[in-house]
């Protein structure tokens, strides 16, 4: 039995979890995880991770009978991690694993990117945490692919090892957006002009920012299709651009209206988004042949589940010409558990 500290560190909030890990199945490289204590803290209220972790461990010692301090820790961080150090993207924190080890008195601490934490986490999910889009033919020894649209577009892959799993992050979200229809070709040109760029990455389309961009594109093609309700939301969103105290999230409003089937332009926006998402997931699958599974994570897919399972995602996923049959064997699952990164941080800590 090993006591671990797992963390999901973001610009808005920090979630910490004290975990008991025990290898109960000799045939599995993964330990069973038992959550002992968990709490969430506003990141902006603290100058560094150390005071948050110290507060958390004090609270855990008061709440957990037979409390034992963690032996190892792993933190999934919203920012680039290089040589176990990280400068957070949306916080003025500078984190170094060796400093955290000294100040928190934990023998080994690993810092990983938040999407890498998701990569570790998907292998520890239960059936209840997943929604199957395609059963496929699971091969436990094959690579695993992870893709997730949220603020941006994360992509990565997982390789099984005898003693666990190794996760690799990528910058696949910044590859070129590849239009597949006349409408998408027009979208490509529109986004070039909108952002004043010569090259459009797939993240500009398959992300929350992408939903907003697609809506603007379709609206400007025929503004008469815009409903009064969305026109008001859109104008407020435009006025608040560049401000921190925004009251409108255009992507969320568009997806909500599309789910309710109450707005034609929003429905068309999300259809184009889901098609592009499926096509990019299929591109990733062709590059890796992930017969260990392709997991769709991120903050958007689970929220628009009816749209993801309507058929257009998987149709675009498998529309790959003469090699399309290769993708029939890929298990495709949507991650429903929003705390998959915390699970991944704990599993990563267990492997350290």
Secondary element (H or E) of residue 294: strand 294-297
pLDDT at position 330 is: 98
Domains and CATH numbers, the chain: 2-125+337-351 (3.30.420.40), 173-335 (3.40.367.20)
> What is residue 52's predicted lDDT score, i.e. its pLDDT?
96
- In 3D space, the residue among 268, 282, 264 whose CA is nearest the CA of residue 327 turns out to be 282
Sequence-separated (6 or more) residues with CB below 8 Å from residue 270: 211, 254, 255, 258, 304, 307
Three-class secondary structure of residue 197 per DSSP: coil
Would you state the pLDDT for residue 34? 92
Ordered mean pLDDT values, 10 residues apiece, the chain (352 residues): 93 92 79 92 93 96 92 91 85 91 94 93 94 95 95 92 86 94 97 95 96 97 93 93 85 96 96 97 97 95 94 94 96 96 94 84
Q: Residue 268: what pLDDT?
A: 97
Closest CA to 350 of 24, 13, 31: 31
* pLDDT attached to residue 245: 80
H or E, element range at 246: none
- Please calculate the CA angle 153-155-160 and round it to the nearest 5 degrees: 160
Please tell me the total number of residues recorded for the chain in this structure.
352
pLDDT computed for residue 99 by the predictor: 95
Please identify which residue in the block is written with the tokens 């910044």.
Answer: 174
pLDDT at 293: 97
Tokens of 105: 């008195």
How many CA atoms are closer than 13 Å to the CA of 101, on its beta-carbon side?
13
Q: Is the dihedral of CA 251, 253, 256, 262 positive or negative?
A: negative
pLDDT at 151: 86
On whether the CB atoms of residues 341 and 13 are closer than 8 A, the answer is no
Locus of tokens 């350290």: 352
């Amino acid at each position: 039995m090993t006591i671990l500290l797992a963390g999901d560190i973001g610009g808005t909030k920090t979630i910490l979890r004290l975990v008991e890990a025990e290898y109960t199945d000799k045939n599995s490289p993964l330990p069973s995880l038992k959550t002992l204590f968990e709490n969430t803290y506003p990141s902006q209220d603290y100058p560094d991770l150390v005071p948050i972790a110290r507060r958390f461990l004090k609270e855990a010692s008061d709440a957990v009978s037979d409390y034992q301090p963690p032996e190892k820790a792993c933190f999934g961080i919203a920012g680039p991690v290089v040589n176990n150090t990280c400068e957070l993207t949306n916080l003025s924190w500078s984190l170094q694993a060796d400093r955290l080890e000294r100040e928190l008195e934990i023998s080994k601490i690993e810092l990983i990117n938040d999407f890498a934490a998701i990569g570790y986490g998907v292998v520890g999910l239960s059936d209840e945490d997943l929604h199957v889009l395609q059963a496929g033919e699971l091969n436990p020894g094959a690579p695993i692919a992870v893709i997730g649209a949220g603020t941006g577009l994360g992509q990565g892959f997982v390789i099984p090892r005898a003693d666990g799993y190794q996760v690799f992050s990528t910058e696949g979200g910044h590859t070129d957006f590849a239009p597949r229809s006349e409408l998408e070709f027009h979208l490509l040109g529109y986004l070039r002009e909108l952002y004043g760029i010569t090259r459009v990455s797939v993240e500009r389309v398959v992300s929350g920012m992408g939903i907003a961009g697609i809506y603007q594109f379709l609206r400007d093609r025929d503004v008469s299709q815009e409903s009064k309700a969305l026109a008001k939301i859109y104008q407020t969103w435009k006025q608040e651009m560049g401000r921190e105290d925004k009251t409108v999230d255009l992507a969320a409003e568009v997806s909500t209206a599309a789910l309710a089937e109450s707005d034609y332009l929003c429905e068309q926006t999300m259809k184009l988004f889901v098609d592009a998402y499926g096509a990019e997931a299929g591109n990733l699958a062709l590059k890796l042949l992930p017969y260990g599974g392709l997991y769709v994570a991120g903050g958007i897919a689970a929220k628009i589940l009816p749209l993801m399972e309507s058929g257009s995602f998987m149709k675009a996923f498998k529309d790959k010409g003469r090699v399309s049959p290769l993708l029939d064997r890929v298990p495709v699952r949507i991650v429903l558990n929003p705390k998959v990164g915390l699970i991944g941080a704990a599993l990563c800590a267990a492997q350290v």
